[in-house]
Amino acid sequence: MPANPKYLTSTNQRFAKISAGFLGGFLVSLTSHMALSYWVNHIYVIITATFTGFILWAVLMIVAFLAKDGWRIWAIYLGLSLLFSIFIYFSKMYHPIPL
Containing structural domain, residue 44: 16-94
Tell whether 60 is covered by a domain: yes
Specify the number of domains making up the chain: 1
Asked whether the beta carbons of 27 and 81 are under 8 A apart, the reply is yes
Half-sphere exposure of residue 93: CA atoms within 13 angstroms, side-chain side: 6
Question: Do the domain assignments include residue 6?
Answer: no
Residue-wise pLDDT for 32-81, tens only, equals 999 998 888 888 888 999 899 999 999 999 999 999 899 999 999 999 99
pLDDT one-digit tens code per residue, 67-84: 989 999 999 999 999 999
Whether 73 maps to a domain, the answer reads yes
Integer CA distances (angstroms), 89 to 57, 59, 78, 81, 85, in order = 22, 26, 16, 12, 6
Dist. CA 93–CA 21, nearest whole Å? 31
Q: Is 96 helix (H, G, I), strand (E, B) or coil?
A: coil
